[in-house]
Structure 1
Amino acid sequence: MTAIPRGRTRRTALVTATWALAVTGAMALTGCGGGDDPDAGTNGVGKLPAARIESRTRAAADGAAAVRLSGTVVTSGRTYRLDMRLKADGGTGSVTSQGVAFRLLRIGQELYLKAGADFWDHADGNGNGGGDGAVGKLGGKYVKVPQGDPAYKKFSGFTDKDVLLDGLLTLHGTLATEGHHDQAGVPTIRITGDKGSGGTLDVSLRGTPYPLRLVRAGGAGTLRFSDWGRNFALTEPATSDTVDYGKQLPAS
């Protein structure tokens, strides 16, 4: 039998020991493959109590320069489908209710509404319909909504970031966390009110802890939030595309 040189034996033992230490370290970092830390590499809010997560995500939402929200809101028995982009000085987007869609644009205090003839149909209360008389001229145009008109308060809320988020980002009842989830490829921590009956909110674990998905209590709609902090332009409509109806719009 050929004898193995003593130097080679020592080198083999050293390599074996080094390899064993590397494997042990890797297993410790990965939890042996079965105990991965879901908060590793995240912003850390997943480790906080639910109330602190809610506080952090509300602060993040309030501090963001802009946001896009889409989904449904149910209020007073009516369902509104929203796709709105909002920032401090206004907002723009579409709203659909009872199968009728319209667009909203607010720049500062100036609010415009654009809708087809079906929206204005019978709005004048005289049965003229959307294609006849003064009301018929509103279809397809940006109509400037007077600030004293009841429609101004109703519709401007859809374009007001602070008002809309304050009214929506609310969970009811006792808060708790409900595990880690994923929204469009972004890891989230979910918090709930009264085990979900008071609503659920998914909060981003990547970067700033923005809210990403809200399921409102009592089946009052589901909303997704995106484009946090991404600025966009608000452009006043052309004069040729605008109608100033007067002090009060037709009831609709």
Structure 2
Amino acid sequence: MTAIPQGRTRRAALVTAVCAFAVTGTAVLTGCGSEDPDAGTNGVGKLPAAAIQAKTRAAAQGAPALRLSGTVVTSGRTYQLDMRLKADGGTGSVTSKGATFKLLRVGEQLYMKADADFWNQAGGKAGGDGTGAADTLNGKYVKVPQGDPAYKRFSGFTDKNVLLDGLLTLHGTLTTDGHHDDASTRTIRISGDKGSGGTLDVSLQGTPYPLRLVRAGGAGSLSFSDWGKDFAVSEPAKGETVDYGRQLPAS
């Protein structure tokens, strides 16, 4: 019987080892045979794109809490968000045009918190005597009246269901766009109109939560994390709250 050269045996052993690592890691290498890229996953990668979108939307809506961070472009303005959201409220920071403010929603009550520079830029006045509101509002949670334009503009950033309904919709014909990796988590990507309608990376590990969204038309990108990790939202202390009493300064 013809002996197999030792060099060839070593190469074969190395290929076998590399392929074994690839299957148990986060990628499947070409040249490793017909390994199933969905082996050991939750199986959603084998589904049609529309079914994947339906499952990830259901998973997101069913989660008690999450964190999202990134950018959203709406009505010509770019907002940098870092929000934690749950069914009965949300909290986090928003930055737009170099100005940063915090949002807190407890039930239906929305609060804004910012420094004096923010309120000075907003041009607010505390009353008819022309007294500036900035010192009064500086570092305080300001109750936002529900009839105020600011309530309509910003409350959606703190509303889990409203925000996810608006974000987790890709436009155009849905297709799958390969297996990927997001912070060491294996994902399946779905695309709308080959990417022009947005892309969404969905976890292949555990519950098929959305992990990364690139919105259509350059309207921002967001990362989703801390799915199911609860947090507390509560009314701020009276000493930390200011009731402006009428329409807030336009920002």
Superposed CA offset, 1:82-132 (max 9, x none): 000000001000000000000000000111100112221153467x9xxx6
Partners of 2:124 and 2:161 lie apart in 1 by 34
Tell me whether 144-153 or 205-214 shows the greater mean CA deviation: 144-153
Matched, 1:51 2:45: no
Q: CA deviation at 1:139?
A: 1.6
Pairwise CA RMSD of aligned residues? 2.5
Look up the SS of the partner of 2:122 in the other structure: coil
Partners of 1:205 and 1:92 lie apart in 2 by 28
Aligned to 2:99: 100
User: Please, what TM-score do these two structures have when normalized by structure 1?
Assistant: 0.84
Look up the SS of the partner of 1:133 in the other structure: coil
Look up the SS of the partner of 1:121 in the other structure: helix
Partners of 2:247 and 2:66 lie apart in 1 by 31
Superposed CA offset, 1:52-90 (max 9, x none): 000110111111111100000011111000000000001
User: Please, what TM-score do these two structures have when normalized by structure 2?
Assistant: 0.84
Aligned to 2:241: 242
- Contact 2:90/2:105 (<8 A) preserved: yes
Partners of 2:177 and 2:31 lie apart in 1 by 25
Look up the SS of the partner of 2:94 in the other structure: strand
Partners of 1:122 and 1:235 lie apart in 2 by 28
Aligned to 2:144: 145
User: For the structure 1 residues 117 and 32, does the alpha-carbon distance in structure 2 shift closer, same or farther, using more than 3 Å as the test?
Assistant: closer
Aligned to 1:8: none
Q: How many residues align?
A: 226
User: For the structure 1 residues 125 and 88, does the alpha-carbon distance in structure 2 shift closer, same or farther, using more than 3 Å as the test?
Assistant: closer
User: For the structure 1 residues 169 and 32, does the alpha-carbon distance in structure 2 shift closer, same or farther, using more than 3 Å as the test?
Assistant: closer
Partners of 2:244 and 2:32 lie apart in 1 by 67
Aligned to 2:114: 115
Q: Which runs of 5+ in 2 are unaligned?
A: 1-12, 24-29
Matched, 1:83 2:102: no
Larger radius of gyration: 1
% identity of equivalent residues: 74
Partners of 2:32 and 2:197 lie apart in 1 by 36
User: For the structure 1 residues 32 and 175, does the alpha-carbon distance in structure 2 shift closer, same or farther, using more than 3 Å as the test?
Assistant: closer
- Contact 1:107/1:234 (<8 A) preserved: yes
Aligned to 1:220: 219
- Contact 1:148/1:247 (<8 A) preserved: no
Q: 2:246 is matched by which residue type in structure 1?
A: K
- Contact 1:135/1:250 (<8 A) preserved: no
Partners of 2:231 and 2:134 lie apart in 1 by 32
Partners of 1:125 and 1:67 lie apart in 2 by 34
- Contact 1:69/1:223 (<8 A) preserved: yes
- Contact 2:117/2:134 (<8 A) preserved: no
- Contact 1:73/1:221 (<8 A) preserved: yes
Q: 1:68 is matched by which residue type in structure 2?
A: R
Partners of 1:73 and 1:199 lie apart in 2 by 13
Q: 1:142 is matched by which residue type in structure 2?
A: Y
User: For the structure 1 residues 32 and 148, does the alpha-carbon distance in structure 2 shift closer, same or farther, using more than 3 Å as the test?
Assistant: closer
Q: 1:202 is matched by which residue type in structure 2?
A: D
Look up the SS of the partner of 2:190 in the other structure: strand
User: For the structure 1 residues 32 and 153, does the alpha-carbon distance in structure 2 shift closer, same or farther, using more than 3 Å as the test?
Assistant: closer
Partners of 1:178 and 1:243 lie apart in 2 by 50
Q: Please list every run of at least 4 consecutive aligned residues from structure 1 whose deviation after the TM superposition is greater than 2 angstroms.
A: 29-36, 122-126, 132-136
Q: 2:112 is matched by which residue type in structure 1?
A: L
Superposed CA offset, 1:136-187 (max 9, x none): 3112111011112111111111100011011111101110001100001100
Q: 2:79 is matched by which residue type in structure 1?
A: Y
Partners of 2:178 and 2:186 lie apart in 1 by 11
